[in-house]
Structure 1
Amino acid sequence: MNFSYEVMSDDDHARLMALYGPLTDDMRELIDAALRTEADPDAIATARAAVQAATDALRSKQRDDSQVVRYSVGGRPLVWNNAVIGLRNPIAPPLTIQHGDDGCSCWSEFTLNAAYEGPPGLVHGGVCALVLDHVLGEAASEGLTKPLFTGTITIRYVRGTPLGRLRAEAAVERTEGVKSFVSGHLSDGEGITAEAEGIFIKPAWARDAE
């Protein structure tokens, strides 16, 4: 499988971020409100009608998912559907990834609310794994600019990860041929809550293109 990239101008990038970013933020607020509501039946009915009207408005023009077009700005693909960092994905926290000057380390500080809950007050373990997988992949791929995909990942849950403000970080330990070995962790204000080790592999189509 190979991807072709169509480069988006900085102006178009800024315009689309300004258009879609607030919409996604509003949808995140709606999810949080729906989780917490104890409104009466009439208010729920009113809300449902408004949500359906909004859905119909957004459905009025939709992109064709069979036409995969990927844009890049500064060499980084715009993965706006991504479940962790997607600008247009309301289930993404989202994470804003910061990269070290060495090109092989990264970190992010972010907030996970009730939409990501597993045990009461704690982040679902699968969500912890999702975040760590993405952050390790960011480190391995130098900010998604190189094609390296998860081969294996191992998570060790040190303790429950509380909902709220968190930090994830990762760094490449070594590279052997087409494999990069990466480690990282998730932490709150009291220290590490989960640790991860992963092997990220350059796919065959990328090796053939070299």
Structure 2
Amino acid sequence: MSMDFGFDMITEDEYQRQRALYEPLTEAVRRLIYASLHTDVGADAAAEARTKIEAVTALLETEQRASVPLVHENTGRPLAWANPAVGLRNAIAPPMVIHHEDDGSCWSEFTLSGAYEGPPGWVHGGICALVLDHLLGEAASEGLTQPKFTGTISLRYLRGTPLGPLRAEAFVERTEGVKTFARGYLKDADGATVEAEGVFIRPAWARDAG
């Protein structure tokens, strides 16, 4: 069963067309965010940059898409392009590419830069929670193909998570009726930095659908 309630279908060809068009744009905005965090240019350069950014923003605002959720025709997965964890069109997303294994577990390897910093040199705890909430949700919902949403999630911060290369992974422990129990970890090269467990609920409106 695909999670297609209220979604419009998008074909593979159209998906690839939009991805080729907008993924580089998102990456350019991501670079802009990182650059603006660390720039030390003078007043004239800052004013010139602001003027150019405002002009680009106005250009992009000339044609805006309707906020209609899309689901991929072949996979049944929703296109979560605005998602702050994996959104292809969201420049604040790390982004994470999620890999799914045959046993139902999932994982992602990615790099978090200074845009995600809390204490100097360390990832903000809320970003750790965002990453793990998404990974556990991916596992619980079978790759976002089942309508299951976070009921509760708890995290144990084992130690600081350093900025840089990281790995997140998650798996389902058990299912009880409409509840799916998932567990996951955020890791650096030395092992786990955060562990999480969550309960994901199949909503009432989807229970009669099978």
Smaller-chain TM-score bracket: over 0.9
Q: Which amino acid aligns with 2:92?
A: I
Query: Equivalent residue for 2:100?
Result: 99
- SS of aligned partner of 1:194: strand
**Residue 85 of structure 2 corresponds to residue 84 of structure 1:** yes
Query: 2:54 is matched by which residue type in structure 1?
Result: Q
Give the counterpart letter for 2:18 in structure 1: L
Structure 2 residue aligned with 1:60: 62
Give identity over the alignment, percent.
61
Does the Cα contact within 8 Å between 1:5 and 1:72 map onto a contact in 2? no
In structure 2, the partner of 1:157 is 157
Whether the aligned pair in 2 keeps the contact of 1:109 and 1:165 (CA below 8 Å) is yes
Q: Is the 8 A contact 1:117 1:124 kept in 2?
A: yes
Runs of 4+ deviating beyond 3 Å: none
User: Cα deviation per residue 1:155-175 (whole Å; 9 max; x = unaligned)?
Assistant: 000000000000000000000
Structure 2 match to 1:22: 24
Q: What is the Cα deviation at residue 178 of structure 1?
A: 0.5
RMSD: 1.1
Give the count of matched residue pairs: 206
Deviation, structure 1 residue 8 = 1.3
> Is the contact between residue 10 and residue 70 of structure 2 (CA under 8 Å) also seen in structure 1?
no
| SS of equivalent to 1:76 | coil
One-letter amino acid of the counterpart of residue 45, structure 2: A
The aligned residue for residue 188 of structure 1 is 188
For residue 12 of structure 2, what is the aligned residue in structure 1?
10
SS class of match (1:183): strand
SS in 1 for 2:108: strand
SS at match of 2:82: coil
SS at match of 1:18: helix
Say if 2:185 and 2:193, in contact at 8 Å, map to a contact too.
yes
Gaps of 5+ in 1: none
Q: Name the amino acid aligned to 1:136.
A: L
Amino acid at match of 1:196: A
Question: Which residue number corresponds to residue 127 of structure 1?
Answer: 127
The DSSP-based 3-state class of the residue aligned with 1:180 is strand
User: Which runs of 5 or more structure 2 residues have no equivalent in the other structure?
Assistant: none
Is 1:168 the counterpart of 2:168 in the alignment?
yes
Asked whether the equivalents of residues 184 and 197 of structure 1 are also in contact (C-alpha less than 8 Å), the reply is: yes
Looking at structure 1, the residues matched to 105 and 147 of structure 2 have their Cα atoms a distance apart, in angstroms, of: 16
TM-score, L = length of structure 1:
0.95
The equivalences for 1:30-41 within 5 A come to: 30-41=32-43
